[in-house]
Amino acid sequence: MFNTRSPTGLRTLLARMLIFARRNIFPACIAVATLTFAAVLVAAPQQKTAKKPVKPPAPAAPAAPFHNAESLAYSGAWLSLSDVLSIQLNANDDRPFNAHPIWHFQARLQTKNPLHYILAVDDRFDSYSAHTDFAGEQFEMHLNEGSKVENHILRIAPSQTPLPAGTTQVQLLHGTRDALGFLYYLRTVNWQQTTEVRSPVFDGRKVYDVRATVVTPRSDLAVAAGKFTATGLSIRPYLNGKELADTKITLWIAQDAARTPVLIELVLPFGSGRVELTQSVAGK
């Protein structure tokens, strides 16, 4: 066991987390998309074409239950450290992309004291996803982690196309969603009528077959933002037909009109965490 209240113990734990995250990139990235700080430790993606997913894309999503300019704020705890993460999610559909309408999702992730003293993070992730089925069109990672400042702009397309300067193309089957777009796609599903969905998901490096399954149809939850009746989903990533071991992610989606993500609980090989909604501003 590590003493996470001492600087030496916490540094040792974070070093092990860094090694694990680099070897298991999807849990780290999907955790960012679903509101945890593991992704701040992910190494930069390889600049090469990703493999095409084996599974076909999931069916087109129905109309989004959220609206333009929606803003969601979260606070995260990890191991014995409470309120050490600040996460902000924004959804906008106020501009076209490649001459057609898209959703522009954005996640901002920052560490707070005391974690910030050891791991200074101010990262931003941008997802440009199609209105019709939330297929990913561009995924961006803007990383500011102490002395490391990196920007990765990844254009998702099924075939080679001309690119703006500073953009890298990855050739993926149409319908593949990026990790952040996948989180918003889950909100379009009526979980009172559907028990499982599957989707190819791109994390910035690899494509995974991800399954979201209802494990708790209805439960009353209390988080910082208030009390909610929510559905619990188990999020399970597969690579080459094999489920990633020792990873348990449960996402709780409120049974309100916007299907708001209110809580995520994680159990990973390097520890456990909890991220909860603190404030929500509905769009219009």
- State which residues form the domain around 91: 7-281
Residue 117 lies in a domain: yes
Per-residue pLDDT tens over the stretch 34-93:
344 333 333 233 334 444 444 445 555 568 999 999 999 999 997 778 999 999 999 998
Residue 254 lies in a domain: yes
Distance CA 202, CA 180 (A): 9
Residue 2 lies in a domain: no
What is the percent of the chain where pLDDT is above 70? 78
Distance CA 14, CA 111 (A): 13
Residue 213 lies in a domain: yes
List, as one string, the DSSP characters of 19-78: HHHHH-HHHHHHHHHTT-GGGGGPPPPPSSPPPPPSSPPPPPP---SS-TTEEEEEEEEE
How many domains are contained in the chain?
1
Residue 212 lies in a domain: yes
Residue 118: helix, strand or coil by DSSP?
helix
Residue 191 tokens read as: 């979980």
Average pLDDT estimate for 266-278: 87
270 pLDDT above the threshold of 80: no
Dihedral (CA of 93, 207, 57, 266) sign: negative
225 pLDDT above the threshold of 70: yes
Distance CA 126, CA 87 (A): 14
Residue 1 lies in a domain: no
Residue 173 lies in a domain: yes
Predicted local distance difference test score (pLDDT) of residue 14: 54
Answer yes or no: are the C-beta atoms of 109 and 121 closer than 8 Å.
yes
Per-residue pLDDT tens over the stretch 239-265:
999 998 888 899 999 999 999 999 999
| Mean pLDDT score of the chain | 81
Predicted local distance difference test score (pLDDT) of residue 166: 85
Residue 177 lies in a domain: yes
Answer yes or no: are the C-beta atoms of 212 and 197 closer than 8 Å.
yes
